């Protein structure tokens, strides 16, 4: 679903057969202008959606920009009825996506200087993955695979179902997309390397264990660390020498940030 389709569906969901409050309280011809203003430090995301919601919009801060309380994201003008009826949809997108971008920036800042990149995951709200991953990029972190279709990620259940590490890797030998495999034990690690694995996922290790495994691999494959990575621990994992650290928290645990819409009559 495209961003335009998501916006259209959101407006249909909220407005339905009509905004009865606004239609009863606000004269049809009344004109107004309004501003989207942040009330806490945020990294803005979702600004690209505003022109899909309003016709007459002036963007003051592009996605990815850090703003302080009181600063303006965008201003809009037009029918007071239209501004009011679409306010909540605009705020829902801005608050949610800016929350993700703000958290992603914190993760990216924590690993600065290590050479390690922070990746997101598929732990997203159904239907909003494209927008949430866009917000991750706005925050300065990186996207992992978009879905099940653009990369192979062989996890423990795949290994079990395939009949082992060797069988799983052999089955993906001619894959036309990147292939990554999760290894849970040193035996699986050795088997994966012996089979020519070039991308390894190490899950649920402590930072010290991760550093030990990274030293053991010694550059024979790129390494992603995953599992329970938090803002408090991400630096330690990044300093293990891993190439990537993935953090589902950037999308599944980001809180909506405080953004306000202030309306004034012309």
Residues belonging to the active site: 88, 123, 155, 182, 203
Calculate helix-pair angle for 3-15, 80-110, nearest 10 degrees.
130
Give CA 258 to chain center in angstroms: 18
Distance of CA 95 to the CA centre of its chain: 13
46 CB-near residues (< 8 Å, 6+ apart) = 63, 93, 94, 96, 97, 98, 131, 134, 135
* DSSP label of 56: S
Crossing angle of the two packed helices 80-110 and 129-139, in degrees rounded to 10: 60
Token pair of 195 as six digits: 């089979």
Structure tokens at 170: 């052999």
- Answer yes or no: are the C-beta atoms of 130 and 255 closer than 8 Å: no
For residues 242 and 202, the answer to whether their CB atoms sit within 8 Å is: yes
Please list, in sequence order, all residues whose beta carbon lies within 8 angstroms of the beta carbon of residue 68, skipping any fewer than 6 positions away. Answer: 38, 41
DSSP one-letter code for 140: T
């Amino acid at each position: 679903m495209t961003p335009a389709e998501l916006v259209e569906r959101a407006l249909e969901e909220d407005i339905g057969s009509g905004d009865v409050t606004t239609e009863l309280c606000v004269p049809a011809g009344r004109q107004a202008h309004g501003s989207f203003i942040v009330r806490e430090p945020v990294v803005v995301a979702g600004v690209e959606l505003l022109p899909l919601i309003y016709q007459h919009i002036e963007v003051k801060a592009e996605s990815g920009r850090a703003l302080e309380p009181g600063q303006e994201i965008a201003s809009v003008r037009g029918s007071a009825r239209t501004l009011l009826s679409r306010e909540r949809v605009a705020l829902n997108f801005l608050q949610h996506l800016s929350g993700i971008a703000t958290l992603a920036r914190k993760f990216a800042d924590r690993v600065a200087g290590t050479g390690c990149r922070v990746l997101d995951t598929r732990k997203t709200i159904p239907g909003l993955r494209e927008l949430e991953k866009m917000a991750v990029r706005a925050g300065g972190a990186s996207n992992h695979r978009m879905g099940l279709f653009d990369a192979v990620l062989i996890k423990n259940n795949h290994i079990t179902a395939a009949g082992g590490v060797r069988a799983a890797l052999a089955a993906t030998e001619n894959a036309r997309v990147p292939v990554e495999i999760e290894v849970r034990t040193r035996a699986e690690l050795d088997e994966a390397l012996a089979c020519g694995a070039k991308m390894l996922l190490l899950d649920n290790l402590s930072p010290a264990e991760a550093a030990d495994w990274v030293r053991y691999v010694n550059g024979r494959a790129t390494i992603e660390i995953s599992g329970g990575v938090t803002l408090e621990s991400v630096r330690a994992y990044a300093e293990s020498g891993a190439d990537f650290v993935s953090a589902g928290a950037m999308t599944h645990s980001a809180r909506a940030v405080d953004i306000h819409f202030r309306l004034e009559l012309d």
